[in-house]
Amino acid sequence: MPPLIQTISLLTAQVIVLLTVSPFLVGLIRKVKARLQCRRGASLFQPYADLAKLFRKQPVISTASSWIFTTTPYILFASTLSAGLLVPTFASQTPLNFAGNIIALVYLLALGTFFLILAGLDTGSAFGGMGSSREAIVASLTEPAMILSIFAIALTAGSTNLSTIVHKTALLEGIVTDPSPHLMALAALFIVALAETGRVPVDNPATHLELTMIHEAMVLEYSGRYLALVEWAASLKLAVFLSLIANVFAPWGIATTLAPASLGIGLAVYVVKIAGLAVLIGVIECMFAKLRLFRVTDLLGVAFILALLGLLFFYILRS
């Protein structure tokens, strides 16, 4: 295949995989939670039906809002999907590897957060403002921990480009014998992922109680296709973080070549890996209570310290 066609087909595959797998993850987490709570729960494919229904509904727009409110769902969808294109999913070499490294990924997600915070304020409802304000503080506490854990990983792999990290790790190049820095960075990044995707113990995606909601409060006024896009973007973000964790820390099985068999195995392994992580999140959501907003600081502080320790361990082990 000529390189251009190959690039485009790989990109298209990546987009399709991300868009189709992400609602499934949400469904899976809900199912696990339901089973653990001795309920039967909705079908695993309920989120797809929800999205299809929402897309067909006519949205209601607040008279107080501006074009920010109606553009935000598209910006959020675009920034999350773009971030997703930087993360290796089933193949270790993403065609857009050169377009951005992991810092670009963090800032692309921040672009979506920024507009979502604005949209929360735009309708004039106090709930939206409350959600925006909380989202802002949670985001400010997660970002430093995220950057440090990323750096700890980048040190081991000698790169900050995700494809390179994953590819090298998958081929077992440049891996230190002692995995402790990696494990600490993994723990830190997992906490960050819970916080960034609005999961228990930081936020509860299943609540509409004004005193506790964060993400749900920001998107409270959305309806119809706008809500569909926002929900899809939220599940995409979850998929992005799970792919990141799965492939950076356990890239084994990922397709390192472009042979059809390798790609097929890669896809199957990828789905199994992120499904496993989704089950883990479901279990965590059942086992822990949501933290008070001002106790979230402690949790994210732990993440920061873990990442810093990972960094320190790396240097000590090497010298």
Partner 1 sequence: MSVSTDSLFMLFWLLLASYAAGILLPFCAPRKPHIQGMVGSACSCAASLIGIALGLSGLVAAEPLTAMLPAPIPLLAFAIRLDPLASFFVLTISLAGLAAAIYAMGYLKEFHGRVSVATLAALTNGFLLSMTLVVMADNGFFFLMTWELMSLASYFLVVTEHEKEDVRHAGFFYLVMTHVGTAFVVLTYLILFQSAGSFSFESFRHPEQALPEGMKTLVFLAALIGFGTKAGIVPLHGWLPYAHPAAPSHISALMSGVMIKTAIYGLIRVYFDFLGGQFPWWWGFVILVIGTLSAILGVMYALMEHDLKRLLAFHSVENIGIILIGIGAGMIFQTYELKEFAALGLLAGLYHTINHALFKSLLFLGAGSLLYATHTRNMEEYGGLLRRMPWTGLFFLIGAVSISALPPSNGFVSEWLLFQTLFLSVQLPALFLKLILPIAAALLALTGVLALACFAKAFGISFLALPRSAHARQAEEVPIPMRVGMGILALLCVGLGLAPMIVVPLLDRITGPLTGASISHKILALDGWALAPGTVQFSSISPPMLAAMLILSGLLGLFLAVLLGGRLMTRSHKTWGCGLTLTPRMEYTATGFVQPMKRVFSTIYQPTIKLETEFLEESRYFAKQRKFEFHIEPVFEKYLYDPVVNAFWGIADRLRILQAGSLHLYLTYIFVTLVILLLFAV
Window 262 to 291, contacts with partner 1 (CB under 8 A):
none
Q: Within positions 78 to 97, which residues make up the interface with partner 1, using CB under 8 A? A: 78-79, 81-82, 85, 96-97
The answer to whether residue 64 forms part of the interface with partner 1 (CB under 8 A) is yes
Task: Give least dist CB 234 to partner 1, A.
Answer: 14
Burial bucket for residue 205 (CB in 10 Å: 0-12, 13-18, 19+): buried
Task: Give least dist CB 77 to partner 1, A.
Answer: 4
Please, which contacts does 94-97 make with residues 24 or more away whose CB atoms are closer than 8 Å?
Answer: 94/10, 94/14, 94/162, 94/163, 95/6, 95/7, 95/10, 95/11, 95/14, 96/11, 97/161, 97/162, 97/163, 97/164
Q: Within positions 213 to 252, which residues make up the interface with partner 1, using CB under 8 A? A: 221, 224-225, 228-229
* The pair of three-digit structure tokens given for residue 93, joined into one six-digit string: 């070499």
One of 13, 34, 36, 103 touching partner 1 (CB under 8 A): 103
- Closer Cβ to partner 1, 39 or 318, answer by number: 318
Distance CA 188, CA 305 (A): 8
- Closer Cβ to partner 1, 39 or 208, answer by number: 208
Asked if 233 and 18 count as a contact pair (C-beta separation under 8 A), the reply is no
One of 144, 179, 180, 187 touching partner 1 (CB under 8 A): 144
Backbone angles phi, psi at 255, to 5 degrees: -75, 115
* The pair of three-digit structure tokens given for residue 77, joined into one six-digit string: 């969808």
One of 17, 139, 170, 185 touching partner 1 (CB under 8 A): 139
Stretch that binds partner 1, among 141-149, 196-204, 238-246, 282-290 (CB under 8 A): 141-149
The answer to whether residue 143 forms part of the interface with partner 1 (CB under 8 A) is yes
Q: Within positions 181 to 210, which residues make up the interface with partner 1, using CB under 8 A? A: none
What is the dihedral sign for C-alpha 254, 26, 215, 85? positive
Contact mark string toward partner 1, 13..52, x via CB under 8 A: --x-----------------------------------xx
Task: Give least dist CB 140 to partner 1, A.
Answer: 5
Distance CA 159, CA 200 (A): 32
- Closer Cβ to partner 1, 106 or 194, answer by number: 106
Q: Within positions 105 to 124, which residues make up the interface with partner 1, using CB under 8 A? A: 106-108, 110-111, 113-114, 117-118, 120-124
Q: What is the CA radius of gyration of the chain?
A: 19
- Closer Cβ to partner 1, 55 or 249, answer by number: 55
DSSP letter string over 92-110?
SS-TTGGG--HHHHHHHHH
Task: Give least dist CB 124 to partner 1, A.
Answer: 4
* The pair of three-digit structure tokens given for residue 208, joined into one six-digit string: 């509409």
Stretch that binds partner 1, among 133-141, 247-255, 262-270, 272-280 (CB under 8 A): 133-141
Neighbours of 38 (CB within 10 A): 6
One of 10, 14, 88, 151 touching partner 1 (CB under 8 A): 151
